[in-house]
Amino acid sequence: MSLGRTRWSKMSELLGIPLKRTLDVDFAAELSKLIDSTSFQTASFFQSDISKVAAARNNAITPDISINGLDALKTYYAMLLQLERKFPDNQIEFTWFQTLSQKSLGCSQYSLQWEKLTIIYNIGCMYSLLALDSNNDSVESLKTSCLYFQNSAGCFKYVMKHQTNLKTMPVMDNSTADALASLMLAQAQECFWFKAVQDKHKDSLIAKLSQQIVDFYSEAISEAQRGKLIRNDWINHLKAKKAYFSAVTSYRMSLSFNEKKQFGSMVKALQKALQFVNDSTLSSQAKFKTVIESTLKEAQRDNDFIYLQQLPSELPKIKPALMVKPSSIVTLLPSIENSDQLFKDLIPVEVMDYCTAYNERQDKYIEQRVTNPLISLNKLLKESMTTFQIPQELITISEAELVQYEALLDNLHVNNKNIQSELGKAEQVLKEEALSDKQLRLKHGTLHWTLPESSTVNATYYEKLKKLKEYLDQGSAIDKQTDELFQSIDKKLITSEIKLPEPNDSLTNMIKKVIQERNAYSEKTKRKSLEYRILPKIISSYKKSGIANFEAVFTGHLKYFDEDLRYVNSTKQENAKLIKEIELNEENKTSESGVEAKKMERIDPRELYIEDLKYSYKLLDEVKENLNDGTAFYENLINSTSNFYNEVQEYDAARRMEKVQLDESLVSEAR
């Protein structure tokens, strides 16, 4: 491969970075599939935008080396910014080929971000190539070339900085990126140097400008040698440029020394310039070498015969004059705000998922701030009454539900028997293994039968067996207790319709009405929440910003329920007053009726009915809790028993093999 795109002028040879090449992607088809899979809309609604993106990529992958070609790259970049916001990053595969290395290495990645950074890389390449085309040694062209080289360096620096966030392969290794940026800055500095030469500035200033070029090339060489992509012929070219400008620096310093009548230093500087120029392989090297040799010959003759100044051992270091820097990417690339908006009406599935998540959070918000507090306040009221309506939690259950509980209870017994059987099998294996060991020990004698006794090696298994049996016994005891609880429940009572006469107590009636009102308000708030959803606001926000960040929208949305929160706070105050009234009423009843009245109150049929219901439900709750705990208990115990049985089988198999081997060995010896 050739050295790459170069340009020769009165300036030394400059390099342009070749654009990366890519494979064609059927972007229209890929975007259509992506929209159909990640959005609630279909791709047919967005055919115009899809065609624009596909056309933009086609224009960007084979651009002319021109301002139009640069604009094509930037247009596609701006579209990628929008695609990043609208679509998942890892859905479309892109393939690009390196053009710096000896071989055209290809890399494929599923990543819009990787595609975007690769396009920025190509924009950097385009600026370097435009810098070459712009350079005709005129003042304006020098300014343009200098700016373009700095723009190019800015692009490569940006890629290097931001590719650390990629989840894919980098666009290029960081050393290569640094090398390219330093090369571009070196060539931008050359433009300043050449302008200074044209304007006949002082030789000391020209030397400082040249020294900065040398420093940039030194950085470029160092990073290129560490990198993975830059070829040796490029590195050799960079070394030649460094040597050439080192010679320029020393030559210009010699002229400066001549002005200061420091003729010994002048000769020393010219000698160094000659050493440097001899190391350069640029096409312009020969002509420059002739100039240096001629100047050195004349300077040596004058100093030897006229000035007689001693040559210094070292020359003073030259402070470089830095005139360039990488351009800010903000000034080079279009922003998403200044680009034509694509897929404005596209609503990704992700956004709809946000809506679902926020709806769930809204439901929980209503539950925690309205529904649950009202339930708790009603419960406090009920608990404050010695005689009250049937508690809300006492709801008639069906006979089918009782049958289900009975079946679950039977299942616990079945699990218990199965585990007992499994443990019996494991114990039998251990016993048979011990018996086999005993018989073989009798057969061969204790001195010859050298395997450890079963009672020693299987003690651990018996210990585990003992613990598992203890756990099983505990389960049996709880199952028995659960059986007794279940049998003691008044099943007819809790499966029959609950009917009570209306209470005559005015306070009880008032509290009943308050509770009903709160329950009705709670249901009304739930319906209100179901009707007032966040979806329209999220869609509106997303269309405006294109950013899926809706927390502030959700916070504002919840303010709609502030009225309901105020209602809950007012019911808290109402509750405190009612509870005081209940307490006062109970005190009055006690003082007026006395102990006998209290006794009569206890045998009130309504009170007894409620107490019987509560007792049966309490027993049923205990049964349900035991069933839940028992199910989890037996699941764990089944796993533990199964693991134990497997361990015993493995132990038995290992022991059996050891016995067979030892038995065969002893029988063989006996023969």
- Residue 107 has φ and ψ, to the nearest 5°, of -145, 135
CA atoms within 13 A on the CB side of 187: 34
Residue 640, token pair as written in the block:
């533990």
Q: How far from 411 is each of 134, 145, 555, 628, 643, CA to CA, in Å?
A: 88, 86, 49, 12, 21
Residue 388: pLDDT band with limits 50, 70, 90: low
pLDDT of res. 390: 58
Which residues lie closer than 8 Å to 85 by C-beta, 6 or more apart?
Answer: 336, 546, 547
pLDDT of res. 606: 66
> Which range is most confident: 56-70, 437-451, 616-630?
56-70
Residue 503: pLDDT band with limits 50, 70, 90: low
Residue 597, token pair as written in the block:
């009245």
- Residue 172 has φ and ψ, to the nearest 5°, of -160, 160
DSSP, res 414 = H
pLDDT of res. 429: 92
pLDDT of res. 3: 41
CA angle 134, 135, 140 (to 5 degrees): 80
pLDDT of res. 4: 42
Domains of the chain as residue ranges with CATH: 5-338 (1.25.40.280), 350-666 (1.20.140.50)
Strand order in the sheet with 93-97: 21-22, 93-97, 106-110
- pLDDT at residue 12 is higher than 70: no
Query: What average pLDDT score do residues 8-26 get?
Result: 82
Query: What average pLDDT score do residues 139-165 get?
Result: 95
Three-class HEC string of 309-374: CCCCCCCCCCCCCCCCCCCCHHHHCCCHHHCCCCCCCCCEHHHHHHHHHHHHHHHHHHHHHHHHHH
Residue 602, token pair as written in the block:
């206890």
pLDDT of res. 601: 47
Query: What average pLDDT score do residues 218-233 get?
Result: 95
Residue 350: pLDDT band with limits 50, 70, 90: confident
Residue 387: pLDDT band with limits 50, 70, 90: low
Q: How many other β-carbons are positioned within 10 Å of the β-carbon of residue 546?
A: 19
* 587-607 per-position pLDDT tens digit: 776 665 554 444 444 455 666
Which residues lie closer than 8 Å to 600 by C-beta, 6 or more apart?
Answer: 593
- pLDDT at residue 7 is higher than 60: no
- pLDDT at residue 389 is higher than 60: no
Q: Between 47 and 617, where is the model more confident?
A: 47
348 has which bridge partners?
39
Instruction: Assess contact for 278 and 289: CB atoms under 8 A.
Output: yes
For helices 535-545 and 349-366, the axis angle rounded to 10 degrees is: 140
- pLDDT at residue 45 is higher than 80: yes
Residue 437, token pair as written in the block:
């060991």
Instruction: Assess contact for 313 and 272: CB atoms under 8 A.
Output: no
What's the CA gap between 245 and 234, in Å, rounded? 17
Instruction: Assess contact for 641 and 468: CB atoms under 8 A.
Output: yes
Residue 648, token pair as written in the block:
């015993």
What's the CA gap between 641 and 185, in Å, rounded? 74
Which residues lie closer than 8 Å to 301 by C-beta, 6 or more apart?
Answer: none
**Worst-scoring range by mean pLDDT, 86-95, 292-301, 376-385, 388-397?**
388-397
pLDDT of res. 262: 95
Residue 422: pLDDT band with limits 50, 70, 90: very high
16 has which bridge partners?
5
Supply the DSSP string of 232-276, one letter for each residue: HHHHHHHHHHHHHHHHHHHHHHHHHHHHTT-HHHHHHHHHHHHHH
- Residue 95 has φ and ψ, to the nearest 5°, of -125, 130
Query: What average pLDDT score do residues 472-493 get?
Result: 89
* 169-197 per-position pLDDT tens digit: 999 999 999 999 999 999 999 999 999 99
Query: What average pLDDT score do residues 618-639 get?
Result: 90
What's the CA gap between 404 and 70, in Å, rounded? 75
Q: Where are the alpha helices (DSSP H) in 445-533?
A: 454-457, 459-488, 491-495, 506-531
What's the CA gap between 39 and 352, in Å, rounded? 9
pLDDT of res. 581: 83
pLDDT of res. 598: 47
Coil, strand or helix at 1: coil
Coil, strand or helix at 13: coil
Instruction: Assess contact for 612 and 493: CB atoms under 8 A.
Output: yes
What's the CA gap between 608 and 602, in Å, rounded? 8
pLDDT of res. 501: 55
For helices 372-384 and 506-531, the axis angle rounded to 10 degrees is: 170
Mean pLDDT score of the chain, rounded to an integer? Answer: 88
Q: How far from 403 is each of 400, 616, 617, CA to CA, in Å?
A: 5, 16, 16
pLDDT of res. 539: 82
> Tell me, what amino acid is at 21?
R
Buried b (16+ CB within 10 A) or exposed e, 421-443: ebbeebeebbeebbeebeebbee
What's the CA gap between 29 and 662, in Å, rounded? 72
Alpha-carbon radius of gyration of the chain: 45
Instruction: Assess contact for 385 and 123: CB atoms under 8 A.
Output: no
**Worst-scoring range by mean pLDDT, 21-30, 52-61, 134-143, 435-444?**
134-143
- pLDDT at residue 641 is higher than 60: yes
What's the CA gap between 493 and 406, in Å, rounded? 17
Q: Which of 29, 38, 37, 27 is CA-nearest to residue 347?
A: 38
Share of the chain above pLDDT 90, in %: 61
> Tell me, what amino acid is at 56?
A
For helices 67-86 and 112-134, the axis angle rounded to 10 degrees is: 170
pLDDT of res. 299: 96
**Worst-scoring range by mean pLDDT, 429-438, 539-548, 625-634?**
539-548
Residue 309: pLDDT band with limits 50, 70, 90: very high
What's the CA gap between 75 and 85, in Å, rounded? 16
What's the CA gap between 388 and 395, in Å, rounded? 15
Q: Are strands 5-7 and 14-16 parallel, antiparallel or unpaired?
A: antiparallel
106 has which bridge partners?
97
What's the CA gap between 124 and 100, in Å, rounded? 14
Residue 43, token pair as written in the block:
């791709």
pLDDT of res. 597: 47
**Worst-scoring range by mean pLDDT, 400-409, 557-566, 580-589?**
580-589
pLDDT of res. 195: 94
CA dihedral 512, 515, 517, 522 (to 10 degrees): -160
What's the CA gap between 389 and 385, in Å, rounded? 9
What's the CA gap between 112 and 87, in Å, rounded? 9
> Terminus-to-terminus CA distance in the chain, angstroms?
82
Which residues lie closer than 8 Å to 654 by C-beta, 6 or more apart?
Answer: none
